[in-house]
Amino acid sequence: MKLRLVTLAGDGIGPEVTRQAMRVLHAVAAVTGLKVDIAEHPIGAAGLKAAGVPLPEPTLAACLAADAVYLGAVGDPAYDAQPPHLRPEAGLLALRTALGGFANLRPAVAFEPLLDVTPLRPERVRGADILVVRELLGGLYFAEPRGYSPARDVAFNTLQYSVAEVERVARVAFESARSRRRLVTSVDKANVLETSRLWRETVIRVGADYPDVTLKHMYVDACAMRLAIAPTEFDVILTDNLFGDILSDEAAVVSGSLGLLPSATLGGKVALYEPVHGSAPDIAGKDIANPIGAIGCVALLLRHTAHMPREADAVDAAVREVLAHGLRTADVARPGEHAATTTEVGAAIERAVVDALERHWSYHGV
């Protein structure tokens, strides 16, 4: 198979973590014979600098013609005062809409070797394995009307969901639960919001098609607390766009760092892979950012687009192996411990993946 991939390294730490993710992908390709054709394009502040807009036309056209898109990060405080359509984030939101992926999968696992660095108590976090399924194309982020009043004394956004929007993302959550622990926790604010009532009624109806999956409901405020107190209670968390944005950052605390989380956006014309972290301008260009979220995106890409589950598992296993050996970037290093660079961690994961795959391939004589 030939994989046509567009990479959008973007802003801040985006380019440096993307470099490590692509070295791992190239290594997998070299061992397995997977052909990868990569085209790089600007987005976000990089798009604004190159073409005056956060999502330049050639970038969008290339993404729509690809098998998958990988995005590093967008965001640059230099554009904070710009109107919304000229901010870097507008490029990402427009890209998500154009690609059409509505289900954003954000796995967050407790890495055993990192239990000593999570701010949560290790005995509470051990074994946590959560998949946040975030609705990505609707809700407060996109619904109209929205605006800032001309007098600038009022601003407003609209929270709206249709049954169809909830149904399609709910199906992804139930399907995902079938290959996991068969529990979906649907998170809403149905005690206050009409949209949440529609959300809950729809999820219950879809859930009836999945009698083998247990469905629970939780208010978002309670969920925010339970995630910190008892993260092992969760399997799949199904929630809307804004709640999913917030809860997935919180789920990162269970893993140990926001830098560890990858995501896959499925259901549209072209799949989109992006780490959950932002552009982290304060540490950009220093080779200290954690590349594991970005490398985790390669595992998700191999699993969901290239349909190479064994190679995806090998990437995930290599990440665990390197963490277990104590090679850690500053965000997950123990206090006083020497921190590894972005490049060192990427190189070590690449080596571990190649070793594992070569062992497997020579074993099978392929």
Residues designated as active site: 141, 189, 221, 245, 249
DSSP-derived secondary structure for 216-263:
EEEEHHHHHHHHHH-GGG-SEEEE-HHHHHHHHHHHHHHHT-GGG---
Helix (H), strand (E) at residue 37: strand 35-40
Tell me the closest approach of the beta carbon of residue 362 to ligand IPM, in angstroms: 40
Contact between 294 and ligand IPM per CB under 6 A: no
Q: Between 7 and 279, whose beta carbon lies closer to Mg ion? A: 279
User: Please, which residues have CB within 8 angstroms of residue 307's CB and are 6 or more apart in sequence?
Assistant: none
Contact between 92 and ligand IPM per CB under 6 A: yes
- In the bound state, the residue with its beta carbon closest to ligand IPM is 89
Q: Between 207 and 275, whose beta carbon lies closer to Mg ion? A: 275
Crossing angle of helices 292-304 and 342-363, rounded to 10° = 30
Contact between 311 and Mg ion per CB under 5 A: no
Contact between 240 and ligand IPM per CB under 6 A: no
Do the bridges between strand 271-273 and strand 68-73 make them parallel or antiparallel, or are there none, so unpaired?
parallel
Binding segment for Mg ion (CB under 5 A), chosen from 25-33, 49-57, 92-100, 239-247, is 239-247
Contact between 276 and ligand IPM per CB under 6 A: yes
Tell me the closest approach of the beta carbon of residue 249 to Mg ion, in angstroms: 6
Tell me the closest approach of the beta carbon of residue 294 to ligand IPM, in angstroms: 13
Q: Which of 31, 232, 264, 3 is nearest to 136 (CA)?
A: 264
DSSP-derived secondary structure for 131-144:
EEEEE-SSGGGT-S
Is there a contact between 301 and 70 (Cβ–Cβ < 8 Å)? yes
Determine the longest span between alpha carbons in the chain, in angstroms: 72
Binding segment for Mg ion (CB under 5 A), chosen from 91-99, 138-146, 156-164, 237-245, is 237-245
Binding residue for Mg ion (CB under 5 A) from 11, 165, 245, 274? 245
Q: Which of 107, 105, 232 is nearest to 172 (CA)?
A: 105
Give the number of residues in contact with ligand IPM, rule: CB under 6 A.
7
Tell me the closest approach of the beta carbon of residue 220 to ligand IPM, in angstroms: 16
The residue ranges that bind ligand IPM (CB under 6 A) are 74-75, 89, 92, 245, 276, 278
Site residues, Mg ion (CB under 5 A)? 245
